């Protein structure tokens, strides 16, 4: 069976990218193969992680493209050039338009550091998610992997994992624990699940 060709879109350090790379190396992701990493920020450490793993990289910035429309066109061109089947957003801090997401129905997945529908949507990313969870006083948080559509964090949920909040948690300690106990666990699992579904659908249609 042909493997699902994966592109990972990143903006920063690439810890979630590393979790996927490690899962692929360990044989946990066997139905898909990371073929490309695209960053919307030059100098993102995620690019170094990709290079170290022998994965091709590309930097596409909104500024250099002269706006959102051309930025998305260039991403699409690059994805098509590499015959990409599945797009994984791993800390990609750029909202993609409905025009973009509608091209790839249930072919884009994202990991979000809360249990959707809590603490999600426009403006909820990074430490802010954990700050709000602590401010609200919830006892349980976690991470969600979901399909991406035109609504920020609005696509169908694929997987969730809960993480208990500790009395002395800070946004930083909570962020780290959610990554380690939830994001790095369910993201590779979801990548394998969706990759297997795409590969099987392709085989059945031949």
Distance CA 20, CA 138 (A): 29
Asked if 82 is an active-site residue, the reply is: no
DSSP state letters, 66-104: TSHHHHHHHHHHHHHHTT--EEEESS--SPPPHHHHHHS
5: alpha, beta or left? (left if phi > 0; alpha if psi -120 to 50): beta
Q: In sequence order, what are the residues at sequence separation of 6 or more whose Cβ sits closer than 8 angstroms to the Cβ of residue 66?
A: none
Enzyme catalytic residues: 112
């Amino acid at each position: 069976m042909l493997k699902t060709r994966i592109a990972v879109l990143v903006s920063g350090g690439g810890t979630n990218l590393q979790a996927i790379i490690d899962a692929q190396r360990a044989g946990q992701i066997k139905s898909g193969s990371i073929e490309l990493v695209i960053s919307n920020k030059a100098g993102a450490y995620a690019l170094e992680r990709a290079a170290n793993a022998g994965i091709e990289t590309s930097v596409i910035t909104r500024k250099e493209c002269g706006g959102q429309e051309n930025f998305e066109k260039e991403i699409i061109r690059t994805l098509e050039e590499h015959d990409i089947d599945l797009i994984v957003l791993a800390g990609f801090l750029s909202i993609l338009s409905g025009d973009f997401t509608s091209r790839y129905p249930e072919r884009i997945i994202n990991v979000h550091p809360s249990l959707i529908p809590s603490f999600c949507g426009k403006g909820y990313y990074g430490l802010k998610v954990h700050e709000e969870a602590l401010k609200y006083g919830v006892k349980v948080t976690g991470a969600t992997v979901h399909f991406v559509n035109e609504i920020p964090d609005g696509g169908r949920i694929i997987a969730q994992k809960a993480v208990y909040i500790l009395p002395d948690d800070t946004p930083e300690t909570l962020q780290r624990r959610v990554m380690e106990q939830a994001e790095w666990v369910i993201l590779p699992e979801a990548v394998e699940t969706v990759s297997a579904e795409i590969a099987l659908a392709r085989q059945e249609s031949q």
